[in-house]
A and B are shown apart, each in its own frame.
Chain A
């Protein structure tokens, strides 16, 4: 059974569009995250979300917004997509606050044309 899943696996879209990436975890974890991996494989945290408390990496543009309909889901919405948004986006989750290991989803490769 998949622990952390993401859809879609690939997303190709035009500049200026609005898109969403979905993430679900069936681990019963309390905290979920979004990371961005660029073409050089550098991974950067974007958001951490725990019980409606959101921590945002200050470098993330406000075109990006996480939405959590329930504890098992944290979706990533991106408005007005730009070429530089092309990357692989990873969702992750962890258990207890502050200490538990993060488990990652398989990633969503976003290509903005």
Chain B
């Protein structure tokens, strides 16, 4: 079945870059996503990448996709304390005629120290 894995925890200093990694199993996924969840809040879509792309940059965020290794990463440049949250990667699965259901990784808790 589908499986998405992430490391549980990452701690960085303010101003440093953060790299959050994710591995997935379903090679047929069309899109891969990064969501952010702040404490007590819902899921906020950060960015996504289409499966035929290798890289996508959006301001401080850079997504790298290695389809051969089924590896996805999110790099946050100049990490700020406001970036402290749980970051989930997700891949799509399911029959296209009923909408894409997402399989989520377990989430990586990013802690940014001042």
The answer to whether A binds B is yes
With most chain A CB atoms within 10 A of its CB, the pick from B35, B100, B106 is B100
In the complex, the answer to whether A48 meets B101 with C-beta atoms within 8 Å is: yes
A94-B100 contact in complex given A41-B86, A106-B41, C-beta closer than 8 Å: yes
In the complex, what residue of chain B is closest to A93 when comparing beta carbons? B99
A19 CB to closest chain B CB (Å) equals: 20
**Contacting residues, chain B, for A66 (C-beta < 8 A):** none
Chain A interface main SS type: strand
Using CB atoms, name the residue of chain B closest to A55.
B98
Does B99 lie within 8 Å of A48, measured CB to CB? yes
Q: Which residues of A contact B86 (CB under 8 A)?
A: 41
Task: Tell whether A25 is near chain B: CB-to-CB under 8 Å.
Answer: no
User: Is the Cβ of B42 less than 8 Å from the Cβ of A106?
Assistant: yes
A62 at the B interface (CB under 8 A): no
- A69 touches B (CB below 8 Å): no
13 contacts between A and B (CB under 8 A): A31-B99, A41-B86, A42-B107, A43-B102, A43-B104, A48-B94, A48-B98, A48-B100, A90-B42, A97-B96, A102-B45, A104-B45, A106-B41
Q: Return A44 CB to nearest CB of chain B, in Å.
A: 8
- The answer to the question of A20 belonging to the interface, with a C-beta cut-off of 8 Å to chain B, is no
Q: Known contacts A105-B42, A106-B41, A107-B42; decide if A41 and B99 are in contact (CB<8 Å).
A: no
> Which 6 residue pairs across A and B have the least CB separation, nearest first?
A98-B96, A31-B99, A43-B104, A104-B43, A106-B42, A45-B101
